[in-house]
């Protein structure tokens, strides 16, 4: 049975967390509906799921849930699907002539696993070496947050952050390491609370052993203030 085979394949892929592309797989018509139209439809879908599970949605505690979840999906946790929310690409000249590596570490990552729709929580560490252009420090946090606010796989998130910064900074010399916990691994399935997943993407000079080592040494510094 082909369909059963497909379902089996999807289940296997889901638990192995294999990503298929560095681009988020969006439909052609992804932005034909407005946000409020999407919220209206998703609201009905969430209601349907909860009712199917046997819950009484007239209960005071549950009656607002479909609307709350729909708004949260569209405006918050999956808000980064909307290109209009991409952080603006304002850059500055490197006036200090700072030519060394700049590292922004311990950037909080809140994302959602696209295989189980459960949270991914962790830290991102980013580095770049300027070729004349710099970005504001918080821009790196914003870029991570924008790409994190999508159904994601961690490998793709890491690559998307690097690609975006390479474009904004006009240099290949960008790197990103993400260390994150996937609640689909920690709280269900294998239920391994302790494990976390590390992914990395090294562009340009960060592919060389020495520069990669320097970056990894900086992010292993134990910063406490």
Q: Does 184 bind Zn ion (CB under 5 A)?
A: yes
Q: Restricting to residues 91-130, which ones interact with Zn ion according to CB under 5 A?
A: 113, 115-116
Minimum CB–partner distance for residue 116 and Zn ion (Å): 4
Specify burial of residue 218 (Cβ count, 10 A radius: 0-12, 13-18, 19+). Answer: middle
Closest Cα partner for 170 from 146, 202, 197, 135?
135
Q: Would you say 74 and 35 are in contact if contact means Cβ atoms under 8 Å apart?
A: yes
Q: Would you say 137 and 104 are in contact if contact means Cβ atoms under 8 Å apart?
A: yes
Q: Does 149 bind Zn ion (CB under 5 A)?
A: no
Q: Which residues are marked as active site? A: 113-116, 154, 182, 184
The tokens for 196 are 């976390």
Minimal CB distance residue for Zn ion: 184
Minimum CB–partner distance for residue 73 and Zn ion (Å): 17
Give me the half-sphere count of Cα atoms (radius 13 Å) on the Cβ side of residue 96.
7
Binding residues for Zn ion, total number by CB under 5 A: 4
Q: Restricting to residues 30-59, which ones interact with Zn ion according to CB under 5 A?
A: none
Q: Is 184 annotated as a binding residue?
A: yes
Q: Is 116 annotated as a binding residue?
A: yes
The tokens for 135 are 């970005």
Residues marked as binding?
113, 116, 184
Question: Which residue numbers belong to the known binding site for Zn(2+)?
Answer: 113, 116, 184
Residues binding Zn ion (CB under 5 A): 113, 115-116, 184
């Amino acid at each position: 049975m082909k369909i059963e085979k497909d379902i089996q394949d999807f289940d296997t892929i889901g638990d192995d967390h294999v990503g298929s592309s560095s681009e988020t797989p969006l439909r052609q018509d992804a932005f034909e509906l407005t946000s409020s139209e999407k919220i209206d439809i998703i609201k009905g879908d969430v209601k349907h799921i909860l009712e199917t599970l046997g819950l009484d949605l007239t209960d005071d505690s549950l009656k607002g849930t479909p609307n709350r979840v729909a708004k949260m999906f569209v405006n918050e946790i999956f808000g980064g699907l909307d290109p209009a929310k991409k952080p603006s690409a304002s850059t500055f000249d490197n006036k200090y002539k700072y030519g060394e590596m700049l590292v922004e570490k311990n950037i909080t990552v809140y994302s959602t696993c696209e295989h189980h729709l459960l949270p991914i929580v962790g830290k991102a560490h980013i580095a770049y070496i300027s070729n004349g252009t710099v970005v504001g420090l918080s821009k790196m946090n914003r870029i991570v947050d924008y790409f994190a606010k999508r159904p994601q796989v961690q490998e793709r998130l890491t690559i998307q952050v690097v690609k975006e910064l390479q474009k904004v900074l006009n240099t290949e010399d960008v790197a990103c390491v993400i260390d994150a916990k996937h609640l689909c691994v920690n709280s269900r399935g294998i239920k391994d609370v302790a494990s976390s997943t590390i992914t990395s993407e090294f562009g340009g000079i960060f592919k060389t052993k020495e520069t990669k080592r320097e970056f990894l040494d900086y992010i292993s510094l134990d910063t406490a203030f």
